């Protein structure tokens, strides 16, 4: 829609983990209309205690290195995922 309307896009964030940061980085890298990426450089947990990924995300000179592995390129920390997993089966 932004492309069709000739508009640029600003990518912001909310409380996030490294998983959210890397997903935002992939989106920003794949969409030419995203001209400004706001605070993606935090690269780690904001508003949460533990991160959901094993890797430490890297940045240098204002740029984030996008992981090159399959999918988003990161490994989930399954102990942390299980710690925060919510069981919706009781609903």
Q: Write down the pLDDT at residue 47.
A: 66
10-residue block means of pLDDT along the chain (91 residues)? 83 75 86 74 66 86 85 95 88 79
- Residue of 46, 60, 55 lying closest to 73 (CA atoms): 55
61: left (phi over 0), alpha (psi -120 to 50) or beta: left
Contact present, 23 and 14 (Cβ < 8 Å): no
């Amino acid at each position: 829609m932004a492309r069709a309307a000739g508009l640029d896009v600003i990518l912001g964030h909310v409380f996030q983990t490294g998983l959210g940061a890397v997903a935002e980085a992939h989106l920003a890298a794949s969409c030419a209309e995203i001209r400004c990426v706001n605070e993606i450089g935090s690269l780690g947990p904001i508003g949460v205690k533990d991160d959901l990924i094993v890797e430490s995300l890297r940045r240098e000179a204002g740029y984030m290195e996008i992981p090159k592995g399959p999918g988003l390129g990161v490994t989930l920390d399954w102990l942390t995922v299980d710690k925060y997993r919510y069981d919706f089966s009781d609903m």
